[in-house]
Amino acid sequence: MSQIKSAILILCFVLTYYGLDASNKSAIYTAFIKNDFRVWKAEIDRIQRIKNKSNNQMLELINYQYGYIGWCLELKKEKEARKYLDLLTNNNRILERWNYKPGLVNAYKAAIYGFHVRLDRMKAPYYGPLSVNYLNKAMDLDANNWFIHILEGNTRYYMPTIFGGSKSEALKSFLKAKNLMEENITLISDNWNYMNLLISIAESYTELGNFLMAEKYYQKIIRIEPNILLAKNKLEPKLKK
């Protein structure tokens, strides 16, 4: 029993030391599965209010804000998206000043400009190339980072074709990210990024007309999380059609 207690204490210390709050991760994951972004918003607002956040906690917060902004854009909640885009931008600048994980910082800068393009297509000629440039810089700095490949996929997926957008290239990035994540089981357990990645892969296959592979990934998603509403709402109608 004492050994078990010691192991738990060590785990808690590691999670705290690295800023990986298991309760944050679990709350966000559950909100994602239930498609309950009211809980998601409440959680990121709570973390934002924490004073003297560690760099890892800030990076965790940025990831959650990134996901929330994407959801706002899907539902055309542009005012809400802009509000949290400003918060994400400021938080990312803090990490940039500390020179903390520059690969990820540059990847998020690429995402920030990508969000601006989605909010205002008229600014695409300016923000589009900036997004691609920061993405390339991020890849040069940390080519084997799974999240950078996810951001690359999202950039290619949503970017207008004239600025380098491509569903097929996006799919390549998503599959690379999936392979990198699945090398480490801790990265795919209760991780909203992984589940969202699988949905993105299935959507990409659907857009490219490969419904057999889209169905394969949809079934994979449902096996992992039978009650995941986002996949059912976004993918199931398309596959049935």
Kindly calculate the radius of gyration of the chain based on its CA atoms and give it in whole angstroms.
18
The answer for residues whose C-beta is within 8 angstroms of residue 239's C-beta and 6 or more apart is 206, 211, 214, 215, 218
- pTM for the model stands at 0.87
CB-CB contact of 187 with 200 (8 Å): no
Question: Which stretches within the chain are classed as H helix?
Answer: 2-17, 22-34, 37-49, 55-74, 78-97, 102-119, 124-141, 146-158, 167-181, 185-188, 192-207, 211-224, 229-234, 236-240
Q: pLDDT in tens for each of the 241 residues of the chain? A: 444 333 333 333 333 333 445 668 899 999 999 999 999 999 999 999 999 999 999 999 999 999 999 999 999 999 999 999 999 999 999 999 999 999 999 999 999 999 999 999 888 888 988 998 999 999 999 999 999 999 999 988 988 787 778 999 999 999 999 999 999 999 999 999 999 999 999 999 999 999 999 999 999 999 999 989 888 887 877 787 7
Structural fold of domain 22-193:
1.25.40
CB-CB contact of 204 with 161 (8 Å): no
> Both tokens of residue 23?
């309760």
Domain ranges, ordered by start, for the chain: 22-193
CB-CB contact of 69 with 88 (8 Å): yes
- In the numeric block, the tokens 């990265």 are attached to 187
For residues 227 and 121, give the distance between their C-alpha atoms in angstroms, rounded to a whole number. 35
pLDDT of residue 15: 36
> Both tokens of residue 96?
């940039």
Amino acid at 33: I
CB-CB contact of 181 with 187 (8 Å): yes
The answer for residues whose C-beta is within 8 angstroms of residue 22's C-beta and 6 or more apart is 15
Phi, psi (rounded to 5 degrees) for 21 = -75, 110
